[in-house]
Structure 1
Amino acid sequence: MDTTDRVAEAMAAHPRAGFLRRAERRRAGYDGPLAIGHGQTSSQPRTVADMLRLLDVQPGHHVLDVGSGSGWTTALLAHLVGRSGSVLGLELEPDLVRFGADNLARTRQPWARIEAATPGEYGDPGRAPYDRILVSAMATDLPASLVDQLADHGVMVIPVDGVMLRVVDPGPVVTEHGYYRFVPLR
């Protein structure tokens, strides 16, 4: 099965509605960002699908999800890596850590978890290297500390200054993949 079909399968298995606040669930099919609280959003489904296709997650991968928010992307990544992989979702906002972790727990994918991010630190260098890194917040510059956490032949997808970048290590080799808007990476 190619990546496109696997991404569609993951999105069908874990509908966005299960990761939204009750007041927003009726709008889950809207192809735009939806508020999840604390100035954060659940990204537009088409954008999430595009990012996951660029990331090319494979079964067994060790994945970092920076800005896990509601837990939706963490659940999708967990579906893609399967039982032989692992996903670590990181989120700065304590209420969203709880919200995302509760949502993720309902998916019954124990190989994925959401934890509080360390303020001022991007990612989790102590558990690196990662085969894939997904960043769901806009950086102003490509964070070298995240690039350093990539495994050999690892891939990171990150919006930087309005442009979606696909970063492949070694090199890194950076390619541009369209223009997007996200909440700021803090």
Structure 2
Amino acid sequence: MIRYNVHQDQERTLDIGATDWVTKDQLENILLEKLKDSHLMFTAEGTPYIATTGGRKQSKASVTVFGRGSGKISINGEGVLYFKNIQDREQVIFPLQFTGLLGKVDVVADVEGGGTSGQSGAIRYAVSLALRSFVDQDMVEKMRIAGLLTRDPRRRERKKPGWKGARAKYTWKKR
């Protein structure tokens, strides 16, 4: 900061002397629930939430899952009906059904790039990662076995030189 000649403003200084710091055990007593050592954060009202990102094919999704919710799912400002295909909707809802948290948590997702299948897969992966903080270790293992926590590494294969496409070749004619 000094090297770049940036000086601290007194009005922008954070005063942490007026806040009360509590230990994890004291916070668990206040909230009446056990907390895991994860990236779990809390809103001003005390609602736990976790934000993660996921991807599939060319799609990227940033998802925030709020605990103690009413079951609302928002994708790019719309509901689950953002996806026209029912299979894509089921992809998004499946991790919530599998863990039994459908109707108990709120999901807010922003997704971009790719097609609808890639977008729904990216949201599914990000929601699955976020739900790890809301379930016990046995359920996390079941999610892993079901393939919810496995990233899909498949990508579009590149076109080869001298070929029509990635695998297709030009038709060879003798004459």
Structure with more strand by fraction: 1
Higher RCO, Cα 8 Å, sep 6+: 2
